[in-house]
Each structure stands twice: as structure tokens, then as C-alpha cells.
């Protein structure tokens, strides 16, 4: 009995479809409907192929016109060698890290230590307002870019300029884009000139400050040395004091010689006077020589301490030498001191210039900017292809949207609202004619058609 009662239930369960079978059937129906819709769309597009071809042709014509109406742009590029880095503690650490762990981690260490490369400094200088303002002023870029404010001109210049540094090689690239190829090359060269000027004149290194101090000190010392030399030369010229110590030694020797000669001449004169009278020729001759020796001794020795030498006397006398020696020594010492200081400062200044040249990074041009022959913008072929594709896509979208719009039930309230909005917007257009149709324009005609459609629906 039990087996007989259970058989009808089992057969009923076996005849009912399972959930998986129902899902498979639903999926197959959905896929079939999707395929049918796709086939219908492809057939619709094929039927409208002439419209799509015309749209693509018009798109090609419009894109070609736009591509040839866009002004040409030329790009001139200059490349700078990486500047020599000064060897310091920070750069030594970075060099060690680069050799051990590679460039990527050394770059992270550089950022962590707060160290900056000279290449990054160069790029920051090129992007500064000082350099940009000089370039703007020299090329009158406010008129070229048609801007009224310096801020807008700087933004336009930055948009036309590309400054970059290669992380591996360190080469700095300066690229300028302009409608005039010659101006693009000259502007790129001007960037290099401005960078060189800023690096050489706006340096804040210790060697630069030391060199500036030495230059100022040298000017002052040179003026003091020239004044000391002038005073010494005037004193030596007025007094005939060429070299007081040498002059004194020579005058003492000369005076001693004259004194010896005078003594011998006087002894000879006394001997002659004992034999001859004063009117004798030999007596008179010796007497004349004695008088001449006396006169020479007086010239050398001087008449007195308070008496000045005559204008006919070329050199100072022995009595004047001690008085002139003090002034002469003071002037000579001052001139020697100023000369020694000047020589020392000159040597230090030359050393400071060498140190400054080592510390200041030099701008080395790897590739100078050249006048470009080929344009870089616009890409006309690409614009023409994109214009054709966009026109084709727009035509396809228009066909599919029109078909979908026509497939919407006219009784759908959303369609009615869309028609109402479109007619209102279209009626407010300035070129819209309100009396084009016998019913008072397309707005009223569409509204009447919508009302007739709803009035013919059953149940209303």
C-alpha cells in the first residue's frame, strides 16, 4: 500500500521543471532577444549606409578644414650637460648609496636628507619670475600672446615652454614652442643666456662673498698705495732725496776724500809760501785748488741746520740728511706697507676667484637650439582621421537614437514631456517663425497631434 501511494507524488515531482532548467530557458530567451536587437540595429545601419557615408565625408571635410586652419607650431630644443657637483659630505653619502643600493634608493635618500641637485636648481631658476620677465620683455610676448597682464603672459610662456631633467643622465632639456621657428630657437637660446647670467651674478656662496670683500678691499688699498707713491715721489723730487742711506754713505765718503785732498793741498801751499811769495804762479794755483776744495766741502756739508739749500744744489747736504731721513723713512715705510698689502690681497683675490669658479656650476651646452624645419603641431592626418570617425559615430548614434525615439509609445508620458520641452525651447529661439504652419507653428501642431493621439485611445 505504501509503495502504491508514493508513486503518483514522485511522478508529479518528476514532471515539474527544476530551477536550473528555468534559468537556462530564461537566459536563452534573453540572448535570443539581444541577438535579434543587434541584428535589427545592424540592418538599420545598413539601410542608412548612405547617410553614414555622407556624415563621414562631411566630417572628413570639416576635420581637414580645421586641421589646415590651425596655426603651425614649431619646437626648438636645447640640451644642457649635467653640471659638475661639488664634493661634499652630502654628495659623498649619495655617491656611496648609489654605488651600493642603486639610483632609486639613493634618490629617496636624497629627498630624505633634503639635498637638491644642481639640475633641479637650474630648472627652478629657469622657471623663476626673473628669467621669465626678461624673456617676456625682450621678445614683447604680451603682444605675441595677446595678454594684458604680466601674470597671464607668464602662464602663456610656461605653457609654451617645457623644462625637464633626465633622472638617469642628468641632461637638462629646454624646449620652446612658437608659431615662428626663428623666434622659438632664439627664445631657447635666451633661456640659456639668462641662466648663465643668474648663476654668475646671483651667487651666494662663501667664495663669492669673500671675493666681493677682497675686490672692495683691493680698490681701497690701491687708492692708498697710489697716494703713498705720489707723496713719496713728490718729496723725493722736491728734496732730491733719492735714497737717503745710500746718499749719506756716498756723501760721507766724498767729504772724507775732499777733506784729505784739502789737507794735502794746504800743506803744499804752506811749503810754497815759505819759498815763494803770494804772487807766484805756483802759489796762486795751489791757493785756487784749496779754495775749490773748501767750496766743495761746504756744498757737501752744508752751511747750517736752519739754512735751506740753494736751488742750484742737486742733492741735499750732509746737515740736511738727518732731517730729511725721518720723513723719507715714514713715506717709504708707508709705501712699502701699502704695496705689501696690495700684493697679498691680490693673491687672495685670485685664489677666491678660483674657488668661486669651482663652486659656481657652469652651464655647458650639449646641443644648441636650432631653427626647426618641421612643424610639431597640428597633427593633420590624426585630426582628419578622428574627425571622420567622430562624424561616423555621431551619425550612428543619431540613427539609433532616432529609431529608439520612434519606437517609444506616443502615449508614454515621458515622450510627451520631452516633446513639450523641445517645442518650448524651439519656440524661444530668435530665428524661430511662429507662423510657418497653418495651425500656428510646430509647437501647436505637435500639441494638437499629441491630444488627438490621447483622445483616440480606448478607455479615455
pLDDT tens for 387-410 read 999 999 999 998 888 888 888 877
pTM of the predicted model as reported, rounded to 2 decimal places:
0.52
Distance CA 157, CA 396 (A): 42
pLDDT at residue 107 tops 70:
no
CA distance 402 to 51: 13
Q: Is the peptide bond before 30 cis (omega within 30 degrees of 0)?
A: no
Position 363 confidence tier, pLDDT thresholds 50, 70, 90: confident
Measured distance between the N- and C-terminal CA atoms of the chain, rounded to whole angstroms:
63
Beta bridge partners of 79: 173, 367
- CA distance linking residue 345 with residue 214, whole number of Å: 7
Q: Which of 28-42, 122-136, 162-176 has the lowest mean pLDDT?
A: 28-42
In degrees rounded to 5, what are phi and psi of residue 440?
Answer: 100, 25
Handedness of CA 215, 220, 226, 228 (dihedral sign): negative
Measured between alpha carbons, how far is 393 from 52 in angstroms, rounded to an integer?
Answer: 9
Helix (H) or strand (E) holding 383, with range, is: helix 380-407
> In whole numbers, what is the pLDDT of the chain averaged over residues?
75
The C-alpha cell 669673500 sits at 210
| Beta-bridge partners for 146 | none
Question: What grid cell was written down for 432?
Answer: 524661430
Q: What is the pLDDT of residues 329-360, one digit of tens each?
A: 677 778 888 888 888 888 888 888 887 777 66
Whole-angstrom CA distances from 275 to 62, 229, 262, 263, 268 are: 144, 61, 20, 19, 11
Residues with Cβ within 8 Å of 239's Cβ and at least 6 positions away in sequence, in order, are 316, 320, 324, 328
Q: Looking at residue 302, what is its pLDDT?
A: 57
Average pLDDT of span 200-206: 65
> What CA–CA distance (Å, rounded) separates 264 from 290?
9
Output the pLDDT for position 361. Answer: 64
Residue 276's pLDDT is 75
pLDDT at 103: 46
Residue 63 has pLDDT above 80, yes or no: yes
Task: Indicate whether 1 pLDDT > 80.
Answer: no
Burial of 110 (0-12, 13-18, 19+ CB in 10 A): buried
254, β-bridge pairs: none
Going by pLDDT thresholds of 50, 70 and 90, the confidence category of residue 248 is low
pLDDT at 318: 52
Residue 409 per-residue DSSP state: -
Amino acid at each position: 500500500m505504501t509503495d502504491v501511494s508514493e508513486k503518483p507524488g514522485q511522478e508529479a515531482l518528476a514532471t515539474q521543471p527544476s530551477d536550473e532548467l528555468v534559468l537556462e530557458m530564461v537566459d536563452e530567451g534573453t540572448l535570443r532577444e539581444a541577438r535579434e536587437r543587434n541584428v535589427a540595429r545592424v540592418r538599420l545601419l545598413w539601410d542608412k549606409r548612405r547617410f553614414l557615408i555622407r556624415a563621414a565625408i562631411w566630417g572628413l571635410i570639416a576635420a581637414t578644414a580645421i586641421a589646415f586652419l590651425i596655426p603651425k607650431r614649431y619646437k626648438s630644443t636645447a640640451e644642457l650637460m649635467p653640471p659638475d657637483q661639488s664634493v661634499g659630505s652630502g654628495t659623498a653619502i649619495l655617491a656611496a648609496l648609489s654605488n651600493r643600493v642603486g639610483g632609486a634608493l639613493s634618490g629617496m635618500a636624497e629627498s630624505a636628507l633634503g639635498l637638491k641637485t644642481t639640475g633641479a636648481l637650474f630648472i627652478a631658476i629657469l622657471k623663476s619670475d626673473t628669467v621669465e620677465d626678461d624673456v617676456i620683455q625682450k621678445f614683447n610676448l604680451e603682444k605675441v600672446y595677446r595678454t594684458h597682464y604680466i601674470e597671464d603672459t607668464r602662464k602663456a610662456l610656461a605653457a609654451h615652454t617645457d623644462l625637464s631633467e633626465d633622472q638617469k643622465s642628468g641632461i637638462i632639456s629646454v624646449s620652446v614652442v612658437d608659431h615662428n621657428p626663428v623666434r622659438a630657437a632664439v627664445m631657447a637660446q635666451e633661456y640659456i643666456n639668462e641662466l648663465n647670467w643668474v648663476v654668475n651674478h646671483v651667487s651666494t656662496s662663501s667664495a663669492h662673498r669673500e671675493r666681493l670683500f677682497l675686490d672692495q678691499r683691493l680698490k681701497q688699498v690701491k687708492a692708498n698705495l697710489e697716494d703713498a707713491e705720489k707723496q713719496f715721489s713728490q718729496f723725493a723730487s722736491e728734496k732730491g732725496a733719492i735714497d737717503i742711506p745710500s746718499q749719506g754713505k756716498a756723501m760721507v765718503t766724498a767729504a772724507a776724500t775732499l777733506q784729505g785732498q784739502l789737507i794735502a793741498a794746504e800743506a803744499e801751499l804752506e811749503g810754497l809760501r815759505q819759498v815763494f811769495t803770494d804772487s807766484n804762479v805756483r802759489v796762486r794755483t795751489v791757493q785756487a785748488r784749496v779754495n775749490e776744495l773748501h767750496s766743495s766741502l761746504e756744498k757737501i756739508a752744508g752751511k747750517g741746520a736752519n739754512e735751506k739749500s740753494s736751488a742750484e744744489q742737486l742733492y741735499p747736504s750732509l746737515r740736511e740728511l738727518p732731517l730729511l731721513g725721518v720723513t723719507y723713512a715714514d713715506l717709504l715705510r708707508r709705501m712699502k706697507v701699502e704695496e705689501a698689502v696690495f700684493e697679498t690681497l691680490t693673491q687672495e683675490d685670485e685664489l677666491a676667484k678660483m674657488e668661486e669658479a669651482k663652486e659656481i656650476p657652469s652651464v655647458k651646452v650639449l646641443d644648441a637650439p636650432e631653427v626647426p624645419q618641421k612643424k610639431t603641431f597640428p597633427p593633420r592626418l590624426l585630426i582628419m582621421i578622428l574627425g571622420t570617425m567622430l562624424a561616423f559615430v555621431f551619425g550612428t548614434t543619431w540613427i539609433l537614437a532616432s529609431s529608439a525615439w520612434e519606437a517609444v509609445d506616443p502615449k508614454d508620458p515621458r515622450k510627451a514631456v520631452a516633446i513639450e520641452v523641445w517645442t518650448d525651447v524651439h519656440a524661444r529661439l530668435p530665428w524661430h517663425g511662429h507662423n510657418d504652419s497653418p495651425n500656428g507653428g510646430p509647437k501647436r501642431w505637435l500639441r494638437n497631434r499629441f491630444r488627438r493621439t490621447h483622445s483616440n485611445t480606448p478607455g479615455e
